[in-house]
Amino acid sequence: MRILLVEDHQQLAESVAQALKGAGWSVDILHDGVVADLALTSEDYALAILDIGLPRLDGFSVLARLRDRGQTLPVLMLTARGEVKDRVHGLNLGADDYLAKPFELSELEARVKALLRRSVLGGEQLQRCGELVYDIGARRFTLAGEALVLTAREQAVLQAMIARLGRVMSKEQLASQVFGLDEEASLDAIEIYVHRLRKKLEGHSVRIVTFRGLGYLLEASGS
């Protein structure tokens, strides 16, 4: 799952991004509201973390434009402003949560987990496909009750698929979840990750089906 972090304080942005990456998420960092607005129109994110005090376009405006486009991804607002009226304004615009600076990185991580659990899994902790189970809180997969050992890229691909059960995902869609804005997306690499995942799922009641010209579908065997 990709997270967009928009924070104009570069040192804070790097600290937050490192904490989130350490927890297993892919994170894009931006420092400008206009650029963030453009990214949110063209990239596929699971969650956005917006600072209010952004240059050129503040966080409230980025949020308002996001919701005006009908985009429903969860948004966590960061701010140095502690006034109730600012929190109320953000929530009324469609923010899902609010965190005032300074904050502990552990609290931020916990709030991100809660928002993703509600939005991606409908509040459930576990997502299942046959013998494959994904625990969003622990950020790990098990297969037939045993830990499934995955590289970070393989996990990103499998997360994207299990979050969208019943939907065929194109290579481009998978690449958007695996590679950040500062990386060159490789469709050939997606093929390699899918091939590796198939090997690791062999012999179990879950498989990755190829739809030629369309993409891949994760499904329980025999369904």
Q: What's the average model confidence in pLDDT over 28-56?
A: 93
Q: Does the structure show a pLDDT above 60 at 50?
A: yes
Looking at the DSSP assignment, which residues form a beta bridge with residue 127?
134
Q: Does the structure show a pLDDT above 90 at 177?
A: no
Element of type H or E holding 98: strand 97-100
Q: Tell me which of 80 and 160 has the higher pLDDT.
A: 160
Would the pTM of this model clear 0.85, i.e. be above it? no
Determine whether domain 2-121 maps to CATH 3.40.50.2300.
yes
Alpha-carbon span 216 to 223, nearest angstrom: 15
Q: Does the structure show a pLDDT above 80 at 3?
A: yes
Nearest-5° angle of CA 24, CA 122, CA 1? 25
Question: Who contacts 67 (Cβ-Cβ below 8 Å, separation ≥6)?
Answer: 93, 94
Model pLDDT, residue 48 = 96
Chain length of the chain? 223
Q: Does the structure show a pLDDT above 90 at 126?
A: no
% of the chain residues with pLDDT over 90? 55
Q: 126-219 is classed in which CATH architecture?
A: Orthogonal Bundle (1.10)
- Tens-digit pLDDT profile for residues 61-120: 999 999 999 998 999 999 876 677 888 888 889 999 999 888 999 999 999 988 887 776
Kindly report, as residue ranges, where domains of CATH 1.10.10.10 are found in the chain.
126-219
**Strands 47-51 and 26-30, sheet pairing:** unpaired
Question: Who contacts 28 (Cβ-Cβ below 8 Å, separation ≥6)?
Answer: 2, 3, 4, 5, 39, 43, 45, 180, 181, 182
Report CA Rg, the chain.
Answer: 18
Cβ count within 10 A of residue 158: 24
Kindly report, as residue ranges, where domains of CATH 3.40.50.2300 are found in the chain.
2-121
